[in-house]
Structure 1
Amino acid sequence: MTPPVFRFAPSPNGYLHLGHALSALLNADLARESAGRLLLRIEDIDRTRCKPQFEQAIYDDLAWLGIDWERPVRRQSEHFHAYRDALARLKARGLVYASFESRGEIAQMLTERGDTWPRDPDGTPIYPGGRDSMRDAERRARMEAGEPYALRLDMAAAVARAGDLVWREAGQGPGGETGELVAKPLAWGDVILARKEMPTSYHLSVVVDDALQGVTHVVRGQDLFWSTSVHRLLQALLGLPAPVYRHHRLILDADGRKLSKSTQATALRALRAGGAPPLDIRRMVGLPEP
């Protein structure tokens, strides 16, 4: 019987905090308990924010927590060709188009549409444009002229092509959702799959990597729960297997907000420097001793 494959996939754009510790430790515990494999993936597609010192800190923090992982580590920045290939397959099926609006122009479009414009599950207004706003010939000409652009998934066409989709949720969503769940990718609008200066997005790269690495169980925070709808759609369109998903609770700060690098959540390296032992980290994130 093939052993289950788990993965921890942080971005080296800051230092790991307790939220990351929960996810990493939970993946490691589940891999050990099931005699499975644990992979580490460095999600460094954003070359402007990702730094070598943060990547090294990931290795140091995980080793300090007592977590071991298979080598070699997959670094997304070394596999852009795989994401380009996947994007080309979607383009060939007529499911991708270029958009050219700046953030300011999109904000103006949203203002014109009013406060009732729909928002995605993260609370962000969905893209107010669409494929029908411009002829394909004009899009090609503007791309060839070197204008900045984003490559978007034509969500309505993609959903029509893929049909109804479900995923197996072994954990729990923010509202207690579990079991076999219906994917709702239309709620996200025409998501970005790549940009002129970046050949992939999180959504595209994560499904390609999970498939290429043989990941069978995706264990991650509830903040990514509804993103699974987009991931299931891309998996169906690209003919990729669907792993079992297990979304876990989030570690919140004193104000009830999710811990984040952007809000300067206390880093694991700071806790280590302050003398906290690894078992204290397990206690702080609500996990029992191994």
Structure 2
Amino acid sequence: MSRARSALTPWLLVSPGALLFLALVIVPLVLTVILSFHVYDHGTGIKNEFTFAHYLAVVTDDYYLGIFLRTLRVAALTTLLCALIGVPEAYILARMRDPWRSVFLLVIIGPLLVSVVVRAFGWSMLLGTTGLVNQALQALGLGTVKLLYTETAIVIALVHVMLPFMVIPVWTSLQKLDPSVEAAAWTLGASRFTALRRVVMPQVSMGMLSGSLIVFGLSASAFAIPGLLGGRRLKMAATLVYDEFMHELNWPLGATIAIIVLVANLIIMLAYNRMVEARARRTLG
């Protein structure tokens, strides 16, 4: 009896979280997949008939493919910029001492305490034709530059929002790295750049992988920032799904776009995961 009870204990401990995950993630996802195969009629609405026409229409229409390509481009560029900015920030943060470390960490995670909508409105005021950025450009004699309602504005705001999700995982990886290892590389004649490239970077590759996956996934599915800074004409995948659900009332088509974006994100993230893990395995043995 005691052996059976001990074998059942892990399942009992996991069951509340598993049931919650099933109810909040799996069931809605399955219902969305089923909805994507329903027939939609503009006169009568959703019909209880199944079709593959929505998937065929999305993958063969240049309009939808262009939006998917823009979403991928913005998400990839945001991830790259977050890595270029966030990894040095994490390295500096790991080498700081209290109380400056706490102050710097608060500066990094501080934007997370402000609503994304508020930050998007703030960037819209900064990047507008009469905003501080254009005023500075005019003062330098460069004239007015259209930044608002462009991909540049979306990328800038997304980098501002997503940067903490890159810094924190890399900083956590650096916390596990013994500083004496880097000092030993210096002692053996390695330059600071060589020590960073050969000693530090392989150790933090898993932190970079985690941060990149988080930033890419959140950027590809972002809604508020593309909606406010991209305008009605510069659509991304999330705003397209919103329009199909709320404006066109074509729920099956909106569900189809959402499922395609989800599958594409999973494929890209799994491929990137495999690539980085294989490289880290070769480097670290």
TM-score, with length taken from structure 1? 0.25
Give the structure with higher Rg (CA). 2
Task: Please state which structure has a larger fraction of its residues in strand.
Answer: 1
TM-score, with length taken from structure 2? 0.25
